[in-house]
């Protein structure tokens, strides 16, 4: 945990060279050679994964999520979410394992859009796999224990931030597979994309309604994944113009400007209240969707006024600047965004 809360200003600009990081990366495998893998080992590896994602340490982040997922599978952590699994532990232990496994699934679904690889270690979940319980109930050890809800829980049933993030990660994974492993049938591809886009939009609207200004940081991971998936679909089907049937289904997708506007609105809202947030509460999964919106905005001609376009880009960059105080990944995306703008002008 001490490693995870280390800010970029204390890393000398090289998060992968921090002595504590180097030490932990070396000591955990050594411990696992001498002792059985435990849930605590897996949780420690997860914290390392978050550190590597937050500071964009490649290729370590891609390798680390693969390792932690396989460690969890080796000790049976993946079975904790199965509705058919007979309970052999108390509910606290089962729920802890379930939350660990779903966190692994979330990161395993997210890392490919950062790295460009469409390789997942975790299997696709079944629709009746059990979601984690409401976060507030978990923190307070609520009794009686509520019945677990399935992954396919309808939108009108309230679930916690972690469960919403699981649902968003599931749709993000479907989007990634759709884009990176598309079929040769163009009509099928567009219809599938429209279906994913519709479900993702509904989920995004639901999360936005459930979040409040002071509570929204708990939903940032889910919001980020929804936005990333929608922009990814637009980029694949519209900007890259890989599908000549896109125009006929345009009413399903809306426009790239509409998807980017969701992120821009979030950036404006965040920038207006950024001073009240603890830096340690900033979610490292969020900067990528900000970069996606900025990159799409820079090359899109759907904005009526250049002034509005530049103002929106400024809001996105300002949000990335705030995140860069905590996570180097924001600096990484700021540099890429600057490069995109330079190429567009030239």
Query: Are residues 208 and 183 located together in one domain of the fold?
Result: yes
Query: What does the pLDDT read at residue 250?
Result: 52
7 and 99 assigned to the same domain: yes
150: which strand partners? 130
330 touches 324 (CB < 8 A)? yes
How confident is residue 258, by pLDDT bands cut at 50, 70 and 90? Answer: confident
Confidence band, pLDDT 50/70/90 cuts, at residue 243: very low
Tokens of 242: 């890989």
0.85 exceeded by the pTM?
yes
Same domain, 249 and 269: no
**pLDDT exceeds 50 at position 278:** yes
Spatial CB neighbours of 148, under 8 Å, sequence gap ≥ 6: 83, 130, 131, 133
The chain-wide mean pLDDT, for the chain, equals 84
Backbone angles phi, psi at 270, to 5 degrees: -65, -45
Residue 134 lies in a domain: no
- 249 and 268 assigned to the same domain: no
In a domain, 326, yes or no: yes
Residue 129 covered by a domain: no
User: Which pLDDT score, from 0 to 100, does residue 47 have?
Assistant: 94
Q: Is the pLDDT of residue 345 over 60?
A: no
Helix, strand and coil content of the chain, in percent to the nearest 5, comes to: 70, 0, 30
Task: Report the alpha-carbon distance of residue 225 to residue 169 in Å, rounded.
Answer: 6
Q: Has residue 147 got a pLDDT over 60?
A: yes
Q: What pLDDT shows up at residue 225?
A: 93
Q: Domain range holding 228?
A: 154-254
Does pLDDT of 322 surpass 50?
A: yes
First to last CA, the chain: 45
Among 64, 99, 120, which residue terminates a domain?
A: 120
Domain shared by 9 and 42, yes or no? yes
Chosen domain end from 239, 254, 269: 254
Question: Rounded mean pLDDT of 141-152?
Answer: 79
Q: How confident is the model at residue 242 (pLDDT cuts 50, 70, 90)?
A: very low
Of residues 166 and 251, the one with the higher pLDDT is: 166
Instruction: Tally the C-alpha atoms within 13 A of residue 19's C-alpha that lie toward its C-beta.
Output: 0
Place of tokens 């340490």: 57
pLDDT at 305: 58
Helices marked H in 75-185: 91-115, 135-139, 161-180
Q: Is residue 147 part of a domain?
A: no
Q: How many domains does the chain have?
A: 3
Contact 234, 256 (CB under 8 A): yes
Q: What is the pLDDT of residue 254?
A: 65
* pLDDT higher than 90, residue 23: yes
CA–CA separation, 295 and 77 (whole Å): 38
d(CA 110, CA 107): 5
Last residue in a domain, options 237, 254, 271: 254
- The Cα 166–Cα 103 span in angstroms is 8
Instruction: Name the percent of the chain lying above pLDDT 70.
Output: 86
Q: Are residues 88 and 169 both part of a single domain? A: no
Query: Distance of CA 334 to CAs 231, 304, 340, Å?
Result: 18, 25, 10
The predicted model gives 13-38 an average pLDDT of: 90
- The pair of three-digit structure tokens given for residue 256, joined into one six-digit string: 């790239």
Number of helices followed by number of strands (H, E) in the chain = 13, 0
Other Cβ atoms within 10 Å of 326 Cβ, number: 23
Give yes or no for residue 18 having a pLDDT over 70.
yes
Domain co-membership, 113 together with 1: yes
Q: Count the Cβ atoms, other than its own, within 10 Å of residue 148.
A: 19
**Does residue 104 sit within a domain?**
yes
Which residues, other chains included, contact 304 with Cβ-Cβ below 8 Å and sequence gap of 6+? none
- Which one is predicted more confidently, 337 or 1? 337
Residue 196 sits at the vertex; the CA angle it makes with 195 and 197, to the nearest 5 degrees, is 90
Say if 243 falls within a structural domain.
yes
Alpha carbons 202 and 258: distance in angstroms, whole number: 14
Whether 144 is in a domain gets the answer no
């Amino acid at each position: 945990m001490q490693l995870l809360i280390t800010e970029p200003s204390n890393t000398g600009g090289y998060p992968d060279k921090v002595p504590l990081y180097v030490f932990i990366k070396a000591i955990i495998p050594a411990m696992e050679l001498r002792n059985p893998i435990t849930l605590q080992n897996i949780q420690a590896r997860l914290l390392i994964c978050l550190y590597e994602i937050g500071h964009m340490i490649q290729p370590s982040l891609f390798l680390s999520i693969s390792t932690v997922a396989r460690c969890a599978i080796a000790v049976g952590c993946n079975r904790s979410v199965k509705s058919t699994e007979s309970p052999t532990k108390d509910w606290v232990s089962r729920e802890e394992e379930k939350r660990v496994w779903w966190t692994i699934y979330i990161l395993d679904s997210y890392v490919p859009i950062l790295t460009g690889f469409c390789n997942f270690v975790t299997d696709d979940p079944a629709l009746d796999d059990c979601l984690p319980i409401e976060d507030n109930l978990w923190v307070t050890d609520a009794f009686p224990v509520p019945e677990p809800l399935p992954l396919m829980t309808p939108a009108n049933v309230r679930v916690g931030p972690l469960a919403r993030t699981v649902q968003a990660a599931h749709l993000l994974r479907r989007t990634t597979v759709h884009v990176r492993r598309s079929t040769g049938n163009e009509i099928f591809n567009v219809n599938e994309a429209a279906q994913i886009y519709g479900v993702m939009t509904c989920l995004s609207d639901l999360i936005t309604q459930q979040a409040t200004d002071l509570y929204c940081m708990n939903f940032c991971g889910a919001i980020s994944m929804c936005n990333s998936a929608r922009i990814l679909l637009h980029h694949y089907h519209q900007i890259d113009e890989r599908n000549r049937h896109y125009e006929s289904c345009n009413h399903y997708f809306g426009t790239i400007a509409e998807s980017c506007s969701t992120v821009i609105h979030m950036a404006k809202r965040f920038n207006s209240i950024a001073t009240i947030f603890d830096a340690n509460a900033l979610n490292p999964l969020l900067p990528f969707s900000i970069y996606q919106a900025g990159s799409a905005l820079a090359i899109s001609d759907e904005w009526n006024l250049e002034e509005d376009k530049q103002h929106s880009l400024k809001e996105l960059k300002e949000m990335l600047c705030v995140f860069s105080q905590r996570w180097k990944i924001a600096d990484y995306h700021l540099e890429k965004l600057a490069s995109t703008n330079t190429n567009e002008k030239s």
